[in-house]
């Protein structure tokens, strides 16, 4: 078993033909290995195992040497020009919708602080979409140019059937499902409004956060918004609240985050930032859950409090990646979609 000799035989082979010959010589039916194996009957019984293992190891080593040499010889292919700058083999890439990326990212950010993602109807009763959110009949948001209605018999209990104009219908449904605090919800869903122009599509996505517990205060809402802004838009992103009005929160706020382009400085290369007004970009609406909304959800507003927000997915994508033509999102143009 002169391994070194075999090795140098293989390494000095200079053609594929020679390698084939060596392979037969060593590993063929009547080759070296089989010859050695035949001799096993002459080996004392107590050494047979050891002998067998040695032969097997030799076989593996020879196989490897032959394969390496064969590849090397194939690569050279008798001096033909070999362009190693060519692109590699083409594997399919495919694409995910940009909204899918955002949904996953947002879900994960909130999962880490204990929020569960839920799924509630997109076609719902007026009750869940309005009454339960402190928006009684006659509220402007219920006008039929603000909300899409379904041609369906009106129910005596819950009113007409609507396409949810926001993800907030999930608030009442989650309170009813959980029955009692703590509630930590993130509801991501399609929403619909009868509005179709350069900056609106009749379908869009929102993500809704809801937190209800003992002694939830504005400090917690601020903490959560700061956390989200830093995780989603990047470290150093700041938020601010401005007074606003929504029926289902009191107090109500609008949230701004520092502009993703000028980083809140309102200047880019010494010129005024074209993206933001004064260093801030508007993110969306938020506030402390209105006592009527808690009561409608079966939660005692004297014992518990909460915060809620509802932001547009398209909006955060736009802010993060400057993808501003929202009409491309759902028109199905593959030239837009396949980029992601």
- Segment 14-33, which members bind other proteins (CB under 8 A)? none
| Residue numbers 265-294 binding other proteins by CB under 8 A | 277, 288, 290-291
CB of 326 to other proteins, least distance (A): 12
Q: Compute φ and ψ for 237, nearest 5 degrees.
A: -70, 130
- Tell me which of 213, 263, 320, 323 binds other proteins, using CB under 8 A: 213
| Residue numbers 244-263 binding other proteins by CB under 8 A | 244-245, 250-254
CB nearer to other proteins: pick between 22 and 118? 118
- Tell me which of 52, 121, 279, 284 binds other proteins, using CB under 8 A: 121
Determine the interface stretch with other proteins among 22-30, 73-81, 224-232, 318-326 (rule: CB under 8 A). 224-232
- Tell me which of 28, 223, 234, 236 binds other proteins, using CB under 8 A: 223
Q: How far apart are the first and last CA of the chain?
A: 59
Site size toward other proteins, by CB under 8 A = 88
| Residue numbers 173-202 binding other proteins by CB under 8 A | 177-178, 182-185, 190, 192, 194-196, 202
Determine the interface stretch with other proteins among 3-11, 39-47, 218-226, 314-322 (rule: CB under 8 A). 218-226
Does position 217 interact with other proteins (CB under 8 A)? The reply is yes
Bridge partners of residue 307, in order along the sequence: 211, 288
| Residue numbers 91-120 binding other proteins by CB under 8 A | 92-97, 99-100, 104, 107, 113-119
**DSSP assignment of 167-195:** TTHHHHHHHHHH-SS-EEEEEEEEEE-S-
How far is it, in rounded angstroms, from Cα 324 to Cα 266? 19
How far is it, in rounded angstroms, from Cα 277 to Cα 73? 66
How far is it, in rounded angstroms, from Cα 257 to Cα 259? 6
How far is it, in rounded angstroms, from Cα 163 to Cα 121? 9
CB nearer to other proteins: pick between 51 and 149? 149
- Tell me which of 132, 133, 211, 308 binds other proteins, using CB under 8 A: 211
CB nearer to other proteins: pick between 16 and 113? 113
- Tell me which of 2, 4, 83, 151 binds other proteins, using CB under 8 A: 151
CB of 283 to other proteins, least distance (A): 14
Over 190-255, what HEC string results?
EEECCCCECCECCEEEEEEEEEEECCCCHHHHHHHHHHHHHHHHCCCCCEEEEEEEECCEEEEEEE
Strands 116-118 and 249-258, bridge-based pairing: unpaired
Q: Which of 150, 102, 93 is nearest to 126 (CA)?
A: 150
**Residue 158 CB: number of other CB atoms within 10 A?**
15
CB nearer to other proteins: pick between 147 and 260? 147
| Residue numbers 228-247 binding other proteins by CB under 8 A | 240-245
**Residue 245 CB: number of other CB atoms within 10 A?**
12
- Reported as half-sphere exposure (CB side, CA atoms, 13 A), residue 113 has a value of 19
CB nearer to other proteins: pick between 6 and 205? 205
CB of 323 to other proteins, least distance (A): 14
DSSP 93: -
| Residue numbers 62-91 binding other proteins by CB under 8 A | none
| Residue numbers 130-149 binding other proteins by CB under 8 A | 138, 140, 143-145, 148-149
């Amino acid at each position: 078993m002169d391994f070194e000799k075999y090795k140098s035989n293989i390494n000095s082979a200079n053609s594929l033909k020679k390698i084939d010959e060596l392979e037969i010589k060593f590993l063929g039916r009547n080759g070296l290995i089989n010859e050695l194996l035949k001799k096993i009957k002459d080996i004392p019984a107590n050494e047979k195992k050891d002998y067998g293992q040695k032969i097997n190891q030799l076989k593996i080593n020879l196989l490897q040497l032959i394969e390496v040499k064969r590849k090397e010889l194939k690569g050279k292919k008798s001096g033909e020009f070999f362009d190693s700058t060519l692109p590699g083999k083409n594997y399919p890439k495919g694409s995910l919708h940009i909204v899918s990326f955002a949904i996953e990212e947002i879900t994960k950010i909130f999962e880490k602080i204990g929020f569960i993602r839920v799924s509630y109807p997109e076609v719902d009763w007026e009750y869940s979409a309005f009454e339960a959110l402190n928006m009684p009949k006659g509220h402007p948001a219920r006008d039929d140019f603000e909300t899409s209605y379904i041609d369906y018999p009106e129910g005596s209990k819950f009113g007409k059937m609507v396409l949810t104009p926001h993800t907030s219908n999930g608030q009442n449904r989650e309170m009813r499902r959980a029955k009692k605090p703590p509630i930590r919800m993130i509801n991501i869903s399609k929403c619909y409004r009868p509005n179709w122009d350069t900056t609106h599509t009749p379908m869009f996505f929102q993500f809704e956060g809801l937190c209800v517990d003992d002694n939830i205060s504005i400090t917690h809402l601020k903490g959560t918004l700061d956390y989200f802004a830093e995780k989603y838009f990047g470290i150093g992103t700041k938020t601010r609240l401005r007074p606003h009005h929504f029926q289902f929160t009191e107090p109500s706020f609008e949230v701004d985050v520092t502009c993703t382009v000028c980083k809140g400085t309102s200047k880019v290369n010494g010129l005024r930032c074209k993206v933001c007004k004064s260093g801030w970009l508007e993110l969306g609406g938020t506030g402390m859950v209105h006592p009527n909304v808690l009561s409608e959800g079966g939660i005692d507003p004297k014992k518990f409090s909460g915060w809620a927000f509802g932001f547009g997915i398209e909006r955060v994508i736009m802010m993060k990646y400057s993808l501003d033509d929202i009409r491309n999102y759902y028109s199905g143009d593959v030239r837009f979609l396949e980029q992601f």
